[in-house]
Chains A and B, each alone.
Chain A
Amino acid sequence: MTPEAYYKPRTLEEAFALKADHPEAFFIAGGTDLMVLMRAGICRPSALISLRHIEPLHQLTVGATTHIGAMTRVAELLEHPEIEERYPLLTAAARRLGSPQVRSVATVGGNLANASPCADTAVALLALGARIRLASPDGEREIPLDQFFVGPKTTCLFSQELVTEIILDEDARGTHGVFIKKGRVKMDIAQASLALWARVKDGQCEQIRLAAGSVGPVPLRLPEVERVLLNHPLDDDRISQASTAAEQTVQPITDIRATADYRRQLIGVFVRRALRQICTESR
């Protein structure tokens, strides 16, 4: 089946009404995931409902709480000076997503909703403790991002539900953020990736969140590793323990990009490197 229509609603209400009329239709944002899947015959929507022309989904405001509209393109995120100033971790992840051509159209909402375990912005946003706002004909709800991903390529979205925005409550200035990604070549999806965010005082992590990509069915938070690190002096011994905990927590698989073993080792090394970096930065 090829899509029989391409709709361009201007409001959320119109988009929901179209989806109600065409249950087999797909929402399309930038299309960098969906166009590939359609061409390969993996996705066969009856129609496409574009989210590009719904103005509120494009809003991006940085402040005490930061709101990133779901239709914000990865390139726009990258070019935003205040995002870089407050959340360099997010900028670093955005910079490693795809090519310039992909970043010109790929959206943050699409990166999350596509729910690939490798999704670069998802890994960064998990470490930043993001919440997301969802809207459906029944109303709106907000959930922590780590409750959004429920299984391989699946989210908790209902069929008529949309991601409308990503919310960051904390101004991350004065904190530490590290993003590390390894692909086979520079422009490739991750063999493994790690994002770390921490607030460090007197050589200890007062607050810390870690997330990893391509090492489980979904982008993963690593609470076991966070527990090892929270409120303990960041010495060599602690760093080794954290690295081992990370290797034990992740659930990688072997595929064309890397073996499970290699991915496990990468995560161990990334945790070590990220922690060393924040040790140096906070000295």
Chain B
Amino acid sequence: MTQIVSFVLNGAPVQVPADPHQRLIDLLRGPLHQTGTKEGCGQGECGACTVIIDGRPVNACLYPAPEADGTTITTIEGLGGDNTELSTIQRAFVECGGIQCGYCTPGMILSTKALLDRRPDPTEAEIRQGLAGNLCRCTGYVQIIESVKWAAERLRDKS
């Protein structure tokens, strides 16, 4: 029994058919062609699929597609805005060496955004807590934590 789900994706309304067994990540990477969101483990462990739903970080691999209806969702594609410039958090990962192969990066960045939206001035412990659901096999976490601090500082200066 397919149903049509409507939600706001990166600021624009979308409508897409969802099957009962599908997950949000299937809609994003499938009919919506938003392949920035990655699938790693498919079971909530790695965070590569992290998106922000109604202000909270969520694993798109565990989120039933039919429940996307009526929500507001941000993926990595929604971060840069209209122009081709990188957002502050994206730039931070580039500047601080928080990115190598890049597979974990969209998830890391969305978790960082969810954290900084709530806590603009996090302690290192809070940063570690905020990223506890994201695994990286390349960079080492030191650079990633540096990236979050860098982004937090710049975002605070801006506001």
Contact = CB atoms under 8 A, between A and B. Distances in A.
A102 B129 CA distance: 13
Interface stretch (A33-41, A156-164, A171-179): A33-41
B43 A100 contact: no
B1 A105 contact: no
A47 B62 CA distance: 17
Nearest to B70: A53
B111 A100 contact: yes
Contact of A36 (B50, B62, B67): B62
B56 A102 contact: no
Contact of A6 (B20, B129, B134): B20
Contacts of A75: 56
Interface residues of A, number: 28
A61 interface: no
B156 interface: no
Given A75-B56, A101-B57, A5 B20 contact: yes
Interface of A: 2-6, 8, 28, 31-32, 35-36, 38-40, 47-48, 50, 52, 75, 98-102, 104-105, 186-187
A99 B132 CA distance: 6
A279 B8 CA distance: 53
B20 A2 contact: yes
Interface in B54-88: 56-59, 61-64, 66-67
A100 B133 contact: yes
B16 interface: no
A100 B134 CA distance: 10
B133 A102 contact: yes
B47 interface: yes
B44 interface: yes
Contact of B64 (A5, A31, A98, A99): A31
B47 A99 contact: yes
Contacts of B44: 32, 35-36, 98-99, 101-102
Interface string B117-130: 00000000000111
B147 to A, nearest CB: 17
Interface string B1-45: 101000000000000001011010000000000000000001110
A179 to B, nearest CB: 16
B155 interface: no
B21 A104 contact: no
B53 interface: yes
Contact of A35 (B57, B64, B128): B64
B47 A31 contact: no
Nearest to A1: B21
Contacts of B96: none
Contact of A31 (B42, B53, B62, B111): B62
Contacts of A98: 44, 133
A50 B23 contact: no
Given A6-B18, A35-B63, A104-B57, 20 more contacts: A5-B1, A31-B64, A35-B62, A36-B62, A38-B21, A39-B42, A48-B20, A50-B67, A99-B132, A100-B129, A101-B47, A101-B57, A102-B44, A102-B133, A105-B58, A105-B59, A105-B63, A186-B128, A187-B132, A187-B133
Nearest to B18: A6
Nearest to B133: A99
Q: Name which of A5, A28, A101, A102 has the most chain B CB atoms within 10 A of its CB.
A: A101
7 contacts: A6-B1, A31-B67, A38-B21, A50-B64, A100-B115, A100-B132, A186-B128
Given A5-B1, A101-B47, A101-B57, A48 B64 contact: yes
A104 B50 CA distance: 11
A6 B66 contact: yes
